Amino acid sequence: MKIQLWREILSPYDLAVKELIIKFEHLMHEYREQGLYSPIEQVTGRVKTVSSILDKAQKKGVAADEIEERITDIAGVRIICQFVEDIQKVVEIIRERTDMEIVSERDYVSHMKESGYRSYHIIVLYEVHTVNGAKKLHAEIQIRTLAMNFWSTIEHSLQYKYKENIPDHISQKLTNVANAIISLDNEMSSVRSEIMDAQISSHIRSGLVSDILTTIQNLYRVTTKREVQKIQDEFYRIYELDDIDQLRRFARELDVIAEGYRVQSVEQGGSEDTCP
Ligand code: 0O2
């Protein structure tokens, strides 16, 4: 058997996990920047430890030189959603991507495992580029709700403590909680659209506030202190009204004022940064 240098073996998996996290997080930010609801709430990832890889290989009867081919979750990314419906949306997003090739899918959301575990698993082939060239490797993407993640995190830590032998009374509690989590996710789904609307409004509001404050900051450099003070007082007055339309209107008016100063500074041949 070839000598296995684990640090070198795992390095491309580390790269894959980092790239995948960045790609999914970027999607999440794009949704929010466009004032849309993001089906992705949170993204995490890890490279399996060598001892966990060896344990799994031993359990599944995988020879050491077949590990990379047959242990398909050395690179693992977890996508957490708020609602059960979001899981399918994320699955569709992954199916449409051309930078990851789906090898297999397992739906433990509709088909809960005997343990009570629920999650949607997709194994993909993903290409990374290292100093040794391109390498296609397996990565496992687990997609689940916040509530499902809560259950599986607790259960996973118990598995670590008790191995295969979780005491019956704890097992029973875990089953009860797994059922409670199904009800919880269903309850949350029934108010999904209201929650989505509230969250979108909150993102839009904080985006508007941040744009307004940036414009005020820029105006500070080109107009009088008195004028900026007046604008800032007006901003606080409107902010207190807690009315997103008023905030939107104020942001537009401020943009027009800022644009006026920009045009003025170009006509006078000065730069935008020129102080009065
Ligand atoms: P870790 O420590 O999370 O990496 P199979 O293909 O069925 O022979 P495999 O590869 O275990 O075996 O597939 P499966 O069942 O889809 O499980 C893959 C991963 O899902 C597991 O990896 C766990 O992360 C998670 N998982 C599956 N079943 C359970 C469960 O009952 N409870 C919890 N908490 N997690 C589960 P690992 O390598 O087992 O563990």
- Tell me if residue 100 falls in helix, strand or coil: strand
Nearest CA to ligand 1 atom 18: 73
The answer to whether residue 68 is catalytic is no
Give the pair of three-digit tokens for residue 34: 């466009």
In the chain, the N- to C-terminal Cα span, in Å, equals: 75
Q: pLDDT (tens digit, 9 = 90+) per residue, 116-149?
A: 999 999 999 999 999 999 999 999 999 999 999 9
Whether residue 271 is predicted with pLDDT greater than 70 in this model: the reply is no
pLDDT tens, residue by residue, 140-188: 999 999 999 999 999 999 987 887 788 999 999 999 999 999 999 999 9
**DSSP 8-class letter at 97:** -
What is the 117 CA–ligand 1 centroid distance (Å)? Answer: 9
- Which residue CA neighbors atom 4 of ligand 1 most closely? 48
Mean model confidence pLDDT for the chain: 93
pLDDT(276) > 60 = no
Reported confidence tier of residue 269, pLDDT bands at 50, 70, 90: low
Instruction: Among 58, 105, 117, 143, name the best residue to mutate to test ligand 1's pocket (greatest count of ligand atoms within 8 A of Cβ).
Output: 117
Chain centroid to CA 228: 38
pLDDT, residue 265, reads 74
Q: What per-residue confidence (pLDDT) applies to 206? A: 92
**Interatomic CA distance for residues 263 and 269, integer angstroms:** 10
> Ligand 1 centroid vs 256 CA: distance in angstroms?
56
pLDDT value for 33: 87
- The values of phi and psi at residue 275, to 5°, are -80, 150
Q: How far is the CA of 52 from the centre of ligand 1 (A)?
A: 11
Q: Among residues 92, 114, 140, 194, which one is catalytic?
A: 140
State pLDDT tens for residues 226-249: 999 999 999 999 999 999 999 999
Token reading at 102:
């789906």
Per-residue pLDDT tens digits for 27-80: 999 999 888 999 999 999 999 999 999 999 999 999 999 999 999 999 999 999
Q: Which DSSP category does 226 fall into?
A: H
